[in-house]
């Protein structure tokens, strides 16, 4: 099946630092999504990307859909303590029986020290 490699697995940073994480795939995706999950909660959508090369921002978050359609990155600028959590990338293929199904990366655990 399709696989997503997300890195890094974990990050320990100081408040105010910038963060970067990425995902690479063995397959082409038509949609890339980035989610954040707080402990004991469900993932919440941060950014959705629909076109190769697309660069989208949501406040301090910026994500890009790679030109090859096999990768994506998420940047967080000027991190704050509430950025703590697990960040997941997810890729979605279109059409056929895979319509609407997501393939998830393993997650990046972010810890922010005040």
Residues 5-44 that bind another protein (CB under 8 A): 6, 9, 30-31, 33, 35, 40-44
Residue 53 Cβ vs another protein, minimum distance, rounded to whole Å: 16
Q: Which of 8, 15, 45, 80 binds another protein (CB under 8 A)?
A: 45
* 32-58 burial: b if 16+ Cβ within 10 Å, else e: bbbbbeeeeeebeebbbbeebebebee
Q: 76, exposed or middle or buried, with CB in 10 Å at 0-12, 13-18, 19+?
A: buried
Residues 58-87 that bind another protein (CB under 8 A): none
Q: How far is the CB of 16 from another protein (least distance, A)?
A: 28
């Amino acid at each position: 099946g399709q696989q997503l490699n997300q890195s890094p697995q974990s990050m320990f940073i100081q408040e105010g630092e910038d963060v970067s994480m990425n995902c690479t795939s063995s397959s082409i995706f038509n949609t890339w999504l980035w989610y954040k999950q707080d402990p004991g909660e469900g993932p919440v959508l941060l950014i959705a990307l629909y076109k190769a090369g697309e660069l989208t921002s949501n406040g301090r978050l910026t994500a890009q859909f790679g030109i090859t359609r096999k990768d994506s990155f998420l940047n967080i600028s000027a991190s704050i303590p509430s950025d703590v959590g697990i960040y997941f990338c997810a890729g979605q293929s279109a059409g056929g029986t895979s319509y609407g199904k997501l393939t998830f990366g393993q997650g990046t655990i972010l810890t922010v020290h005040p």
